Amino acid sequence: MRALLLALLLTAPALAQGELRGHGGPVRAIALTPDGREAITGSFDSSAIVWTLERGTARAILRAHDGAVNAVGVTPNGFATAGEDGRLAIWNRTDLTRPLSIEKIHTAPIAALTLSPDGTSIATASWDSSLAVTPLNGGAPRRYEGHQGNVNGVGFMPDGTTLVSAGYDATLRIWPLQGAPRIIKLDAPLNALSIAADGRMAAGGADGSLFLLDAQGNNLRRIEAAESPIIALAFSPDSTRVATASPRGSVTLFETGSGKPLFTLNGPGLPVWSLAFSPDGKILFTGGSDRLVRRWSTLNGDHLGPIVIEKPTEMFVSDGSRGAEVFKACAVCHTLTPDAENRAGPTLYGVIGRRIGTAPGYVYSAGFAAQDIVWTKETIAKLFELGPSTYTPGTKMPEQKVGSEEGRAALADFIEKAARPR
C-alpha cells in the first residue's frame, strides 16, 4: 500500500510540471503574516504548513491535530491552528516542531478562529454551538453560548472587545463584553463570516447568498452571489471589496459599497475552500481541492500561479538514473544543494557520513534527532525499507517506503553522488 503510494507520487503529473503539492488534501484555511512574507495553511490532511512566499517553499509542516485543520491564524509570536478534533494549538515561530500548547476547547469540530485585535487571545467558533475566547498566555477560555447549531464564523469588531458570530441557525450574533448578544436573523443558514477593518460585516449563506451589513449590524443587502453554498469569505484590507468562494461555483469579488460583482476568477484550482488577501490588497490567495495555494491579481482576476512553482531542473538535476527517478518523490521536501533553502525536510547536501538531525538551520523533531544513526548508503536504504515511522520513530517525515531492494540501492547511490560535498 505504501509502496503503491510512493509509486503514485512518482508518476504524479504534478511533479512532472514542477508544481509542488505540500498538502495531501484540500487546503481548508489560509492566513498571511502582517508583513505578507509568510502564509499558514490548514488542510484536510490534518497538517498545517508555514510557507515562505517569496521563495515559494514550505518552511515547516505543523502536525498536532487528529483530523482536518479547519482554521489557522497568525499570532504576534507565531501561529494558531484548530480543527476537527476541537483543539486549539498555539505555535511559537522559533520551534514549529511541536505546539507551545494544545488544548481541547470544544466538544465538536472548530470551524473558524480569529485573533483579537490586541493580539492577546484567540476566538474559536465550533460545531458544538458555542464560541470561546482563549487567552494566548494560558488561562481559561471565556464561553459564549446561544447558537442553535453549528457556529461557522467568528470575528472581532474593530473595538477589539465585541465578538461577532455566524451560525447555521441563520443568525448573526453580536456579543458585547457584558450582557446578552444582539441577534440578527438572516434568511439563510450561515457558513462564513468576515469583518472588515472598518467594522462592516459580510456573511455567506448556505443558499449562495452574500449578506452585507454595516458596522452597526444593519442588514444592508443580500446578493445572490453563487448557486451553491458560500464556504469562504474575505474582505480586502481596505474594506472596499469582498471575495466569496463556493464549492460548485467560483470565486467572485464584489464591491462592498454597491454590492456589485467586479469579476470572477477564471483558471485552475477551483473549487476553492479558503481565501486571504495579501496585506497590500494586491493579491488574493486561494486554497483549494487541488491541494495547492494559488495567487490571483485583485486588479483583474488573472491567475498568477501557485505558491510553489519550481521547475524540475531547479528541484534537482536528474542524471537520468533509476535512483534519480526514485528521488523525484523526495525532491518535494529535500534539496541536494548547500545554498538551497530547507524545504519541508532538511537539505540532503553532504548527508552521507552525517549524523542524523544535524543539517544546519533545520528544526528537526526531537525524537528523530535524538537517535543514534549516521547516514550511509546502507542506513538510508534501511530507512525506506522499514519506513521512517519504524526506523526513526517520532519523525515528522511522512511514512513511505521504497518497495524493491534494487530501488533502494539506486536511491542511495544517487544521493551519495548528487549530494556529495563540492
Q: Which three cell numbers, joined as nine digits, stand for 279?
A: 496585506
114, 136 Cβ separation under 8 angstroms: no
Please report how close the Cβ of residue 97 comes to ligand HEC at its closest, in angstroms: 7
**Alpha carbon distance, N-terminus to C-terminus of the chain:** 38
Per-residue contact string for residues 270-299; x = within reach of ligand HEC by CB under 6 A: ------------------------------
Return d(Cα 376, Cα 382) in angstroms, integer. 10
- CA torsion through residues 331, 334, 336, 339, sign: positive
Among 250, 398, 407, 419, binds ligand HEC (CB under 6 A): 398
The yes or no reply on residue 384 touching ligand HEC (CB under 6 A) is yes
Nearer to ligand HEC, 164 or 329 (CB): 329
Closest CA to 247 of 230, 261, 268: 230
The yes or no reply on residue 414 touching ligand HEC (CB under 6 A) is no
70, 29 Cβ separation under 8 angstroms: yes
Residues 6+ apart with CB under 8 A from 405: 381, 385
Nearer to ligand HEC, 4 or 299 (CB): 4
Among 332, 410, 418, 419, binds ligand HEC (CB under 6 A): 332
Closest CA to 302 of 275, 282, 273, 288: 282
90 to 119, contacts with ligand HEC by CB under 6 A? none
Please report how close the Cβ of residue 300 comes to ligand HEC at its closest, in angstroms: 35
Return d(Cα 22, Cα 310) in angstroms, integer. 13
- In this structure, what is the dihedral angle of CA atoms 56, 88, 147, 271, given to the nearest 10 degrees? 20
Among 49, 333, 352, 418, binds ligand HEC (CB under 6 A): 333
Return d(Cα 176, Cα 157) in angstroms, integer. 10
The yes or no reply on residue 64 touching ligand HEC (CB under 6 A) is no
Instruction: Please report where in the chains the cell 479547519 appears, as a residue.
Output: 70
Please report how close the Cβ of residue 272 comes to ligand HEC at its closest, in angstroms: 23
Total number of residues that touch ligand HEC (CB under 6 A): 25
Whether the upstream peptide bond of residue 141 has omega within 30° of 0, thus cis, is no
Please report how close the Cβ of residue 88 comes to ligand HEC at its closest, in angstroms: 24
Return d(Cα 30, Cα 43) in angstroms, integer. 9
Which segment (176-184, 236-244, 249-257, 397-405) binds ligand HEC by CB under 6 A?
A: 397-405
The yes or no reply on residue 357 touching ligand HEC (CB under 6 A) is yes
Among 186, 232, 275, 397, binds ligand HEC (CB under 6 A): 397
Among 50, 151, 329, 352, binds ligand HEC (CB under 6 A): 329
Among 78, 173, 395, 407, binds ligand HEC (CB under 6 A): 395
Please report how close the Cβ of residue 369 comes to ligand HEC at its closest, in angstroms: 6
Nearer to ligand HEC, 216 or 390 (CB): 390
Return d(Cα 271, Cα 294) in angstroms, integer. 12
Binding site for ligand HEC (CB under 6 A): 329-330, 332-334, 344-346, 348, 351, 356-357, 359, 364-365, 368, 375, 380, 384, 395-398, 402, 411
